Structure 1
Amino acid sequence: MKRLFKNIYLEFRFFIGLIVLAFLFIMAFQFPGLLIISKTLFVVFVAITLVDSILLFKLKGIEATRVLPEKLSNGDENPIDIKILNKHPFNVALNLIDELPFQYQKRDFQINTHIKKGAEKKITYTLRPLERGEYHFGHLNIYTTSPIGLISRRYQFGQNAMVPNYPSFLQLKKYMLIAFSNKIFEFGLKKIRRIGHTMEFEQIKDYVPGDDIRNINWKATAKRNQLMVNQFQDERSQPIYSVIDKGRSMKMPFDGLSLLDYAINATLVISNVALKKQDKAGMFSFSRKVENKVVAERRPSQMNQILETLYNLNTDFSESDFSRLYIDIKRNLTQRSLLLLYTNFETLDALHRQLSYLQAIAKNHVLVVIFFENTELEKLTLKESDSTYDIFEKTIAEKFVYEKKLIVNELQKHGIQSILTPPEDLTINTINKYLEIKARGLI
Structure 2
Amino acid sequence: MRLAPSGVMLATLGAGAAIALVALIGGFSAAGVAVFAALWFGSLATLGLADYALSKRAWDAAAVTMTRHLPAAFALGVQKRVQLHFTVSGQYPWQVRLHDHADATVTTDGLPAAVELIPEKLTVVEYAAGPTRRGTAAFAPADIAIRSRLRLWEILERIGETEHRRVYPDFAQVARYAWLAGDRRLAEIGIKTYLQRGEGTDFKQLSEYRIGDPVRHIDWKATLRSEKLVVRQFQNERDQCVILLIDCGRRMRADDKQQGIGAGHFDQVLNATMLLTYVALRQGDAVGAMTFGTPPGEERWFAPRKGAATLNALMGELYAVQPTPTHSDYLLAAQDLLRRLRKRALVIFITNFRDEDTGELEQALRLLRSRHLVLTASLRERAVGELIAQPISTVESALDVASAHLYEQGRRTAFNQIAARDALMVDAEPQRLGVELVNRYQAVKKAGMI
Output the TM-score relative to the length of structure 2.
Answer: 0.74
- Specify the code of the residue in structure 1 equivalent to 2:16: L
Q: Which residue of 1 aligns with 2:194?
A: 193
User: 1:235 and 1:145 mapped to 2: Cα distance?
Assistant: 70
User: After the TM superposition, which of the residue ranges 368-377 and 291-300 deviates more from structure 2?
Assistant: 291-300
Pairing 1:323–2:331 present? yes
3-state secondary structure, aligned to 1:430? helix
Pairing 1:418–2:425 present? yes
- Specify the code of the residue in structure 1 equivalent to 2:398: I
Q: Which residue of 1 aligns with 2:250?
A: 248
User: 2:273 and 2:222 mapped to 1: Cα distance?
Assistant: 47
Q: Which residue of 2 aligns with 1:3?
A: none
User: 1:386 and 1:13 mapped to 2: Cα distance?
Assistant: 62
Q: Which residue of 1 aligns with 2:145?
A: 143
User: 1:46 and 1:182 mapped to 2: Cα distance?
Assistant: 74
Q: Cα distance 1:349–1:312, how it changes in 2: closer, same or farther (>3 A)?
A: same
3-state secondary structure, aligned to 2:24? coil
Unmatched 5+ stretches in structure 2: none
Please report how far the alpha carbon of residue 27 of structure 1 lies from its aligned counterpart in structure 2 after TM superposition: 0.4
Pairing 1:337–2:345 present? yes
Q: Which residue of 2 aligns with 1:431?
A: 438
User: 1:330 and 1:30 mapped to 2: Cα distance?
Assistant: 92
Matches within 5 A, 1:13-162: 13-31=8-26, 58=58, 60=62, 62-73=64-75, 77=79, 79-85=81-87, 94-101=96-103, 104=105, 111-115=112-116, 117=118, 120-130=123-133, 132=135, 134-145=136-147, 150-159=152-161, 161-162=162-163
Summarize deviations over 1:400-425 as a string: whole Å, max 9, x none: 34544445544443333333333344
8 Å CA contact retained: 1:71, 1:163? no
User: 1:402 and 1:14 mapped to 2: Cα distance?
Assistant: 71
User: After the TM superposition, which of the residue ranges 43-52 and 394-403 deviates more from structure 2?
Assistant: 43-52
8 Å CA contact retained: 1:93, 1:145? yes
Summarize deviations over 1:90-120 as a string: whole Å, max 9, x none: 886543233344x6499xx951334475562
Q: Of 278, 281, 289, which aligns to 1:272?
A: 278
3-state secondary structure, aligned to 2:155? strand
Q: Cα distance 1:45–1:262, how it changes in 2: closer, same or farther (>3 A)?
A: same
3-state secondary structure, aligned to 2:166? strand
- Specify the code of the residue in structure 1 equivalent to 2:144: I
Q: Cα distance 1:153–1:304, how it changes in 2: closer, same or farther (>3 A)?
A: same
User: 1:76 and 1:169 mapped to 2: Cα distance?
Assistant: 7
Q: Percent identity?
A: 17
Q: Which residue of 1 aligns with 2:233?
A: 231
Please report how far the alpha carbon of residue 281 of structure 1 lies from its aligned counterpart in structure 2 after TM superposition: 1.0
Q: Cα distance 1:39–1:364, how it changes in 2: closer, same or farther (>3 A)?
A: closer
User: 1:52 and 1:333 mapped to 2: Cα distance?
Assistant: 71
Unmatched 5+ stretches in structure 1: 1-5
Summarize deviations over 1:237-273 as a string: whole Å, max 9, x none: 2211111123333344565866455434533443233
Q: Which residue of 2 aligns with 1:372?
A: 379
User: 2:256 and 2:245 mapped to 1: Cα distance?
Assistant: 21
Q: Cα distance 1:40–1:321, how it changes in 2: closer, same or farther (>3 A)?
A: closer
Aligned residues: 431
Summarize deviations over 1:126-145 as a string: whole Å, max 9, x none: 1425253x544432111133
- Specify the code of the residue in structure 1 equivalent to 2:169: S
Summarize deviations over 1:154-189 as a string: whole Å, max 9, x none: 232124x24253542745874576456649659725
Please report how far the alpha carbon of residue 343 of structure 1 lies from its aligned counterpart in structure 2 after TM superposition: 0.9
3-state secondary structure, aligned to 1:285? strand
Please report how far the alpha carbon of residue 303 of structure 1 lies from its aligned counterpart in structure 2 after TM superposition: 4.1
Name the Cα RMSD after superposition. Answer: 4.6
Pairing 1:298–2:306 present? yes
8 Å CA contact retained: 1:243, 1:283? yes
Q: Cα distance 1:326–1:146, how it changes in 2: closer, same or farther (>3 A)?
A: closer
User: 1:329 and 1:55 mapped to 2: Cα distance?
Assistant: 65
Output the TM-score relative to the length of structure 1.
Answer: 0.75
8 Å CA contact retained: 1:97, 1:110? yes
8 Å CA contact retained: 1:49, 1:150? yes
Please report how far the alpha carbon of residue 209 of structure 1 lies from its aligned counterpart in structure 2 after TM superposition: 4.8
8 Å CA contact retained: 1:194, 1:440? no
User: 1:276 and 1:71 mapped to 2: Cα distance?
Assistant: 24
8 Å CA contact retained: 1:56, 1:145? no
